[in-house]
A and B are shown apart, each in its own frame.
Chain A
Amino acid sequence: MYAYDHYDQQLVDERVAQFRDQTSRYLAGDLTDAEFLPLRLQNGLYVQRLAPMLRIAVPYGLLSAVQVRKLAQITRDYDKGYAHISTRQNIQINWPRLEDVPDILAELASVQMHAIQTSGNCIRNTTTDQFAGVAADEIEDPRPYCEIIRQWSTLHPEFAFLPRKFKIAVCGSHEDRAAIHAHDIGLELHANSAGEMGFRVLVGGGLGRTPVIGSEICQWLERRHLLSYLEAILRVYNKHGRRDNKYKARIKILVKAMGVDAFRRAVETEWASLKDGPTTLTESEMARMATFFTPPPYEQPDAMSDKAAVAAAAAAEPLFANWLRRNTVAHRVDGYRAVTVSLKATGNPPGDVSDSQLDLLADLCEQFSFGELRTTHQQNIVLADVRERDLHALWRSLQAGGLASPNAGYLTDIICCPGGDFCSLANAKSIPVAEAIQERFDDLDYLYDMGPLELNISGCMNACGHHHIGHIGILGVDKKGEEFYQVSLGGSQSKDASIGKILGPSFSRSEMPDVIETILSVYVAERLEDETFLQAFRRIGMQPFKERVYARVDPQ
C-alpha cells in the first residue's frame, strides 16, 4: 500500500496543527458557528443528534494492521469502543468530544492517516473495488490512480468550497464493484482499440434526492491527462454549479441543465488551457505509484493438496462449507482466495465493529493476509490474500470473534446508514429495520435459496445507504412526524446500473419484515430456473409485486 514520505507526513502534521488552531479559536469565540462549520466538516467532524461524529478517511478502503490497531485504540480511548464502516469505505466514530478531536487527528497522523475532506463541499475520498489487485476479472489495478487522485485532491486550493460535495470512484475490472455510475465522476479503466490503457469518464451520477446514472463524457482518456481533465471538470462545476439551492447543487443537476453535450464542450474548452500543462502525469510518477501496489510475496502453494484439505474440512463442517462458498471469492493467484468478513451478524448494527474485533482483524490480517485489509462499500471487511489451506484456521478465529456470518452478498448482508439513531438529518431509524429483517430471515437455507440479493436502507433522502441502487431499497420517510418506509425494487449498482422503482405507498416499521417476505414469495413463485431476484424483476416488472404486497398489508 502507499507509504508516506516526508512530504505526506509533513502535510498531515501541519493539518493537525491547523485544526488545533481552528478548534481553539472556535472555543474562544474567534470563529462563529457558521465559520467553523465548513472547517470542521473538511476535517470530518459533524455535530450529530447525540454527540459529534468523526469520519476518518480510509483512502480507497486500504488499511494496514498498524492502522487498524490504532483505530481500535482510538475507539477505546476517545469513544465507546466501536467504529462504523461507511458506504464510502471510511470509518466513523460516533462519540468523540470536540476538544479531543485535534488529539485524535494527531494519533491518526502517527500512522499515516487523517480525516481530510471526509465531509464538506469538497472532493471526498476516492473509492474503488474492494478486490482491487486480486480480482480475477481485473483489467488494471485502479489503486495507483486512486492515490494519484487522492494527492491531487488533498487541499486543492481551487476546489475547497464547491457548490456541494464531490465524489469520485474508479473501477479497473469487468464487473463494477465501485458503483461508478452513482458518483459525481466515475472512471473506468479500459483499453482502446490499439490496446492502450485509458479511462472512460462518466459524470453526473449520484443518489440523494434526484438519483441519476452517470453520463459518459469521454470514451477513452489517455492516462497522463487524468488530472488535467479532472481539473477541467471541477472548474466548470465550481464556476457554474448552482449555489442557491443545496438540493440542486450537485454536478448531476448542472449536467442535466446544460445537457451532456454542452457540458462536454464546456469541459473541453476549459481543458484546452490545462491540457499538456505541468499537471500532466509523467510516466515516472505513474510507475512510482504502481510500485506501492505490487503483489505481495505469494508463496507457491501446492494448490492441489491445499484444495483437497479445504474440501475435506468443508465436508466435515457444514458451517465452514457455507462460509467458504459465500464469503470467499476467486483470486488471481491459484491457491489463494479473497475473504469477506461480514459485519452483518444478526443483532449487530450493519457495519459496526468493536475495538476487540478490530484488534482481532489486525492480528488475523498479519497472520493470514500480508498485514493489510480493506473496508468495503457494502460495509464489510476484506482480507484479500489468504492461502486456501489457511482458510479453515482463519474461519475458526473469525467465528470466535463473532465475525463469521456466512451471508456476504445475501439478503441479510444489508447496507444501512446510521439513520435516526445517530444522524440528525434522518427521517426515520434504519438500524432497527435492518435488525428486524435479519431476525426474520435468519434461516440460512432460505437465505441461500433467495440467491444474491442486495438490500439497502437509508434513513432519509440523502441516500447514504444507497437505497436507490439496492435490488430492494428501503427509504425512511417522515409522515406527519411519524416514521414510515418506502420500498423500491430493481435498483442495481453494477455496470448495468439502474435506479430502483418505487413499489407504492409506504409502510410502518413493524410491517417491514412482512413486506419483504411477500416480495420474496413473489420472486420464488415467478422465478425461472437460476434466475436471480434482479433478473426476475427485470423480466416480470413491478405489477406482480405490487398486487401481492398491497393485497396483504394495509397501506398507510
Chain B
Amino acid sequence: MPALIRNNTIVSDEWCFDASDSDGIGRRRAYSLSEWKEDGRPAHAGVQMEPGDDCRELAEALPRLELIAVHFPAFTDGRGFSMARELRDLGYRGELRARGHILPDQMHFLHRCGFDAFQPDDSSRLGASLERLQGFSEHYQAAVDQPLPLFRRRG
C-alpha cells in the first residue's frame, strides 16, 4: 500500500493516481485536471495538478474538493511551490499534497508554501523526509505557515 506523510505521520494512501495501478482497488482515484473538467467538475473529488496547469480553474470548486495533489515531475521544477501558495490564497483548506520527485531537503519549503501532505516517489525516503519537515526554526518571509514576516514579529 503506498504511503505518505500527513499531519506529521506516515500513513497509507486512500487515493490512487493512475488507472493502471493494479493495487489501486479499493482506493479512490484522483482526476487529472482535464479529466475532472471532462467529467463535469464533480465536487468532493480529488484532482492532481501538473506544472503549468492553471489552478484558478479549480477556484469555484475549492470549498468542496477533498484532495489537490500537485505533481513534481522533477524536484528542480519549482512551479508547484507557487501553485500551492496560490491555492491557499484562493481559500483552499483541504488536503494539499506534494507528489513526485521531492527531496527531504525541500520538505520545509513545501510545508511553508501550504502543503500539508507529502508523497515522494521514493517511499524509502519517507522517514528522512519527515525528520526534515521543520528545517529551520524561524523565517524572514510571510508564508502559509506563518502569515507575518519576521519584521512584523521581531523584538
Contact = CB atoms under 8 A, between A and B. Distances in A.
B17 interface: no
Contacts of A278: 142, 147-149, 152
A273 B56 CA distance: 13
Interface stretch (A7-15, A90-98, A199-207, A493-501): A7-15
Interface string A128-163: 000000000000000000000001101111111111
A11 B142 CA distance: 16
B154 A238 contact: no
B82 A158 contact: yes
B79 A239 contact: yes
Given A38-B76, A157-B112, A11 B136 contact: yes
B13 to A, nearest CB: 24
Contact of B109 (A22, A160, A227): A160
B89 interface: yes
A111 interface: no
A35 B139 contact: no
A7 B147 contact: no
| Most chain B Cβ neighbours within 10 Å, of A163, A238, A281, A288 | A238
B53 to A, nearest CB: 10
B105 A155 contact: no
Interface in B74-114: 75-79, 81-83, 85, 89, 103, 105-106, 108-110, 112-113
A7 B154 contact: yes
A243 B85 CA distance: 20
Contacts of B85: 158, 235
Nearest to A37: B76
A279 B103 contact: no
Given A157-B143, A158-B85, A160-B109, A14 B79 contact: no
Contacts of A401: none
Contacts of A155: 109, 136, 139-140
A157 B139 contact: yes
B75 A151 contact: no
Contact of B77 (A10, A159, A161, A281): A161
B119 to A, nearest CB: 17
A277 interface: yes
B2 interface: no
Contact of A161 (B81, B83, B154): B81
A352 to B, nearest CB: 33
B6 to A, nearest CB: 19
A105 to B, nearest CB: 15
Contacts of B128: 30
B138 interface: yes
A5 interface: yes
A163 B82 CA distance: 13
B113 A157 contact: yes
Contacts of B140: 11, 151-152, 154-156
A30 B108 CA distance: 19
Contacts of B148: 278
A110 interface: no
A35 B74 CA distance: 10
Interface string A156-183: 1111111100000000000000000000
Interface string B51-83: 100000000000000000000000111110111
A156 to B, nearest CB: 6
A34 to B, nearest CB: 9
B103 A239 contact: no
Interface string A201-229: 00000000000000000000000000100
B142 A279 contact: yes
Interface string A414-425: 000000000000
A282 interface: yes
Interface in A23-56: 30-31, 35, 38-39
A364 to B, nearest CB: 34
Contact of A35 (B103, B112, B141): B103
B78 A160 contact: yes
B147 A35 contact: no
B150 A151 contact: yes
A14 B105 contact: no
A285 B110 CA distance: 27
A10 B137 CA distance: 8
A367 interface: no
5 contacts: A35-B103, A152-B141, A157-B108, A159-B78, A161-B81
Given A14-B136, A151-B151, A235-B85, 20 more contacts: A7-B150, A10-B137, A15-B136, A18-B136, A22-B105, A35-B75, A156-B141, A157-B109, A158-B82, A158-B109, A160-B81, A160-B109, A161-B78, A161-B106, A238-B81, A239-B79, A273-B89, A278-B148, A278-B152, A288-B151
